[in-house]
A and B are shown apart, each in its own frame.
Chain A
Amino acid sequence: MNKFDKFLQLQEQISKKITQVKTLEQLESIRVSILGKKGTITSLLKNISAQIPEDRKVFGEQVNQLKRKVTEEIDRYKSNLLDAEIIEKISNNKIDVTLPLPESGIDIGKIHPISQVTEEVIEIFSDMDFYIAEGPDIEDEQHNFNALNIPDSHPARQMVDTFYLPKVNGESRLLRTHTSPVQIRTMLTKKPPIRIIAPGRTYRSDSDQTHTPMFHQVEGLVIDTDANMGQLKWVLEEFCKSFFEVSSIKMRLRPSYFPFTEPSLEVDIACHKENNQLIVGEGEDWLEVLGSGMVHPQVLRNVNLDPKVYKGFAFGMGIDRLAMLKYGMTDLRAFFDSDLRWLRHYGFRAFDIPSLSKGLSE
């Protein structure tokens, strides 16, 4: 037997003791009995100097190695015991994680479909370089009718039922019946080229399932030296495709009449029903979505633009109607009823901000 074999034996004995330990206290008392002031290994360390010189070096190495191994083992075992203690402690801490939580503000709050769709429309037209213009809700006959080539006696004046307010200094005041007066205001204040859309509230004295005394329109106007019907068609096609988020759309331009455009067109898009859901873009039925045309030369003259130099096109559509077609509401009146359940059902989340780069309604 090698004279250093006793260190190996000693290590085995200590290991054995440690593995039998159950508590931190027992482990501590073992540590003291081995590494404490009077501990087994401590005594061996003290004995190094008592060895014969040729043994001293090896003896010292052996004792220190033993000490290191034992210390490591004790530490490891201590850590295990501590972990076990934590595990034991939290073993009864289980909770029911299936308990439900109330919705937070971001879930409950909603943006009205009209706001959402208005922003969708703006996003699309911005991409085609249209600026957003606005005008007042309270207008006069000059901006709402006369300048738009709708003189007092014009039968078209009876096409709309106008809300009137008391006159101011003999001048009429009315609630605008369309967003078209913004065209006039823009042309009077800005030099061509002009490219605007004007979303906003409009008013007509009408009320049934498809008419409310207030509704929303968006008006578009392009004035330039080279504007033409082909561009109008392109703008409307691009808009409809983008708005309804389809790659192609079947569209029909029907000649029509508006006093402020000549020639005038109404635009229908194809649609069909599938499982009671309206599918826009293809099908055998037609949906009227907007009115448009080349700006009437008389309107240009009314805002001091020479129709021989400038041309333009204009279009107008109902924002509420666009919302209904895209998102499936059936009753226009509900838009303005402030019924919380309806608003929560059809509303949008605060962070659903329309953006073309992300996909309009994704």
Chain B
Amino acid sequence: MKFTLSWLKDHLDTSFSIDGICEKLNMIGLEVEDIDDPIKKYKDFTVCQIAGIKKHPNADKLNLCQLNTINGDCEVICGADNVRIGMKAVFAPEGSFIPGLGVKLQATKIRGVKSNGMLLSERELLLSDQHDGILEINEHSKIGDPLTNHIKKNDPIVEVAITPNRSDALGVRGIARDLSAANVGTLKSLEDIKLEGNFKIEKEISLNKDLKEDIYASFVLIRNVKNCNSPLWLKDRLEAIGLRSINALVDVTNYLTYDLNRPLHVFDYDKIEKCLEIRKAKKDEKIIALDDKQYLLDESVTVITDEKGPESIAGIIGGKRTGCNNETKNVLIESAIWDKINIANTGRKLGIISDARYRNERGIDKNFIDDGLKKAVEIVHKICGGDISYMKSIGAPPKPYETLDFDMDELERLLGITFMKEEVISILSTLGFGIIDNGNNLNVTIPSWRHDISEQACIVEEIMRIKGTDHIKSIPLSKSMGVSSRKLSPSFKNRSLTKRILASRGLVETVSYSFISDKYAKFFNHMNESLVLLNPISSELNILRQSLLPNLISSTKKNSDKGIKDISLFEVSHCFNGVGISDQFDSAAGVRLGRAIGLGGAEDWRGRGRDIDIYDAKEDVLVVLRAFGIKDDKYKITQDAPDYYHPGKSGVIRQGPQNIIAYFGEIHPKILKGFDIEESLCCFEIFMDNFSNNKKKKTRGRDGYYSSQFMPISRDFAFIFDKDINAEDILQSIKRIKNTMIENVKIFDVYTGKNIPENKKSIGINVTIQPHEKTLTDKEIEEISNMIIMEISNKFGAEIRA
């Protein structure tokens, strides 16, 4: 919503400066988005006179102009053709901001000659698009006179963001009323207009009986008008707020839309075929509107029709067929109140954005339908002349006023401060509320233009915003007695911990969109139709993700394309298996490419480092699991990861056969091809929701500490196994041997190749034997060793190596 200061002053008697007014607007809930104040914008620009002109020594098209300015004599360079000695022009000194160029003028040399300022064109001043030459100022003006004394556009323009509840402030008068309540001035009263009609409108105007909505519309016909260009005052106002002047009839409707928030429509009466009827559109009826677009209508749309069909979409946009132009002789002016919800739905369905719709769907003054029409007739008559008809109204006028009871205590209850009743009454009265004082209870009549006042809290808001929010005093919130308790949900805590563990391992956290391209979803076989967005912002972001990996892989690719070689990224967030609440699950995933940086594998002067492999990804997972208290014997690893993993180089970590807590491995090469990635990528996915470690212990106490006083003994074994025996099974079988002295079992070597038969592998196992009661004899140690050898060779058919 835009207006100019002088326009505001049509309605408001005020001595406040533009800055004072704007500050107040902000504080009463009418947020100022922009102030275009010529006085400020042009403050550096003054009238100067060209005293002499020389050719620029190094440029044919440029002149050196000697100027008499407010700062004395100086020389500037100018390329305009219209410079001449004696001419008065606009001088911009160094350091001034040139609005049309958007730059601050710096002292510069142009082709070796210094320019001490600039002479400005209209475009450089943002006065018009004119840039053929510099702006010439009246020859009688004085040197040093401010530019604003010599241009018409010196009325400050204010742009205010109006919240959807405040439809009344979509007219300048509404803004003036709010300001008057906030003591910025006095609201001028609107003159009563007496309309002297002297004939009946011939063509029939009717409301269809089947219309269920409450509609009220009034019409006045003016015959023998002379439509023309609008007078200057009207043109200037409209142009100042960014509207194009079309002709007087149309301009008046636009003017009153912004002045009094009274949208109107003008029909060329002669183009109306026989009669007007307000009814619902029929299915597939069409209309070409004033925006030159054709709209397909249906039974939900309210239209104004004549015998030829719809000619206006009620309250939204007029039709082209009956529009007014310079040839219009007889004009029918319409002022109406429509069903807000219907306007909103129709406007949204047809995708029409118009000033009329904007206001009609938010609600206009219920008691200003006929008076608004009279005002329009008055202005049109003044500009275009003609004979005025009687007013014709159809439908029932809406009930203009609602009332509600307001308990004064509500102010303190909601705001925490008390008010004097007189002050409350005064504020409400200037806002246009009627009040009956019943002691602590006020019976309040809501102004016909306010659609946002429905209960006591709304009255509290009115008092608060007009009185000023700076009167609200901070009141500390009580705190619980004693020490604070845990505030985070387990899942939040889990995500937070996981993030920090992964970051400590050199992975960098990303936050990516929850939606991905269906192209990627297809690679992962994640095409769940219920997760496809109906109105995506682009085809790159059109389906909700079921895994964090697609975004991580594509980010890896993007970074790699920028020349980054060693990439370790992770994300911790949720994914979706469906649209239900329980279908949303937490996940942590990571992707690694290149050297194992941060894991001791960086390339440096000690060596070339090493590449990431899937065991790094596995370790990423295990470190997280251990942090959650899931020890290595609390899960199983199987080799049946989803299809997007490399079938031979991937694993699944389970707690129980159906409960998957993580995947790790290389991404399947065929998926990498889809992402245009040639290297192999190691990655993991962790599902924290599935962790089952959260058995709450009664105490935080740990098991008693025990340490043997006898030296542990370490023994190495090497066996030859079949190639597909899993290390985990070997370790487990040794751990399961019933001997409490077997304490730690490690694999220190895995070897295939020379000296080992094909389909076989050699595995070196280190076992720590911890005596508890005495130092073991060689014989006793040998007995344990033999037990281990027997177990392994029996269970796996393995052969001990010499």
B504 and A207 contacting across the interface, CB-CB below 8 Å: no
Bound form: Cα–Cα A311–B529 in Å: 42
Supposing A115-B511, A166-B529, A229-B415 touch, asked if A253 and B500 sit within 8 A by C-beta, the answer is no
Q: List B residues 509-557 near A (Cβ within 8 Å).
A: 509-515, 529-537, 541, 544, 551-552, 555
Q: Mark B602-629, 1 if CB is under 8 A from A, else 0.
A: 1111000000000000000000000000
Supposing A101-B604, A294-B457, A340-B569 touch, asked if A229 and B503 sit within 8 A by C-beta, the answer is no
A229 and B414 contacting across the interface, CB-CB below 8 Å: yes
Note all chain B residues with C-beta closer than 8 A to A107: 506, 598
B413 and A311 contacting across the interface, CB-CB below 8 Å: yes
A168 to chain B, nearest CB (A): 6
B262 to chain A, nearest CB (A): 19
Would you call A254 an interface residue if the criterion is a C-beta within 8 Å of the partner chain's C-beta atoms?
Answer: yes
B461 and A264 contacting across the interface, CB-CB below 8 Å: yes
Note all chain A residues with C-beta closer than 8 A to B383: none
Contact partner of A155 (CB less than 8 A), chosen from B29, B361, B529, is B361
B532 and A111 contacting across the interface, CB-CB below 8 Å: no
Supposing A138-B579, A339-B559 touch, asked if A110 and B503 sit within 8 A by C-beta, the answer is yes
Supposing A105-B599, A256-B29 touch, asked if A338 and B415 sit within 8 A by C-beta, the answer is no
Q: List A residues 119-170 near B (Cβ within 8 Å).
A: 119, 122, 125-134, 136-138, 152-156, 158-159, 163-166, 168
Bound form: Cα–Cα A341–B567 in Å: 11
Note all chain A residues with C-beta closer than 8 A to B573: 201
Bound form: Cα–Cα A136–B477 in Å: 29
B560's nearest neighbour on chain A, judged by CB, is: A340
B513's nearest neighbour on chain A, judged by CB, is: A214
Would you call B275 an interface residue if the criterion is a C-beta within 8 Å of the partner chain's C-beta atoms?
Answer: no
A350 and B530 contacting across the interface, CB-CB below 8 Å: no
Note all chain A residues with C-beta closer than 8 A to B103: none
Would you call A315 an interface residue if the criterion is a C-beta within 8 Å of the partner chain's C-beta atoms?
Answer: no
Bound form: Cα–Cα A345–B512 in Å: 17
Would you call A25 an interface residue if the criterion is a C-beta within 8 Å of the partner chain's C-beta atoms?
Answer: no
Would you call B754 an interface residue if the criterion is a C-beta within 8 Å of the partner chain's C-beta atoms?
Answer: no
In the assembled complex, 23 residue pairs joining A and B whose CB atoms fall closer than 8 Å, in A order, are A99-B605, A102-B604, A105-B505, A109-B598, A132-B487, A132-B492, A133-B489, A136-B584, A138-B579, A155-B362, A203-B514, A212-B513, A213-B513, A230-B415, A230-B416, A262-B455, A263-B457, A294-B414, A338-B510, A338-B551, A338-B558, A338-B559, A343-B509
B504 and A106 contacting across the interface, CB-CB below 8 Å: yes
Bound form: Cα–Cα A104–B485 in Å: 36
Would you call A60 an interface residue if the criterion is a C-beta within 8 Å of the partner chain's C-beta atoms?
Answer: no
Q: Mark A71-110, 1 if CB is under 8 A from B, else 0.
A: 0000000000000000000000000000111111111111
Contact partner of A255 (CB less than 8 A), chosen from B28, B456, B580, is B28
B340's nearest neighbour on chain A, judged by CB, is: A153
B93 to chain A, nearest CB (A): 25
A138's nearest neighbour on chain B, judged by CB, is: B579
A71 to chain B, nearest CB (A): 36
Q: Mark B24-52, 1 if CB is under 8 A from A, else 0.
A: 00111101000000000000000000000
Contact partner of B499 (CB less than 8 A), chosen from A102, A111, A201, is A111
Q: Which one, B162-170, B209-217, B233-241, is touching chain A?
A: B162-170
Would you call A321 an interface residue if the criterion is a C-beta within 8 Å of the partner chain's C-beta atoms?
Answer: no
B469 and A254 contacting across the interface, CB-CB below 8 Å: yes
Q: List A residues 244-297 near B (Cβ within 8 Å).
A: 252-257, 262-266, 294, 296-297
Bound form: Cα–Cα A147–B635 in Å: 44
A335's nearest neighbour on chain B, judged by CB, is: B511
Q: Which one, A8-16, A26-34, A46-54, A232-240, is touching chain B?
A: A232-240
Q: List B residues 460-514 near A (Cβ within 8 Å).
A: 460-461, 464-465, 469-470, 472-477, 479-480, 484, 487-489, 491-492, 496, 499-514
Bound form: Cα–Cα A321–B162 in Å: 23
Note all chain A residues with C-beta closer than 8 A to B505: 105, 109
Note all chain B residues with C-beta closer than 8 A to A203: 514
Note all chain A residues with C-beta closer than 8 A to B530: 165-166, 168, 173
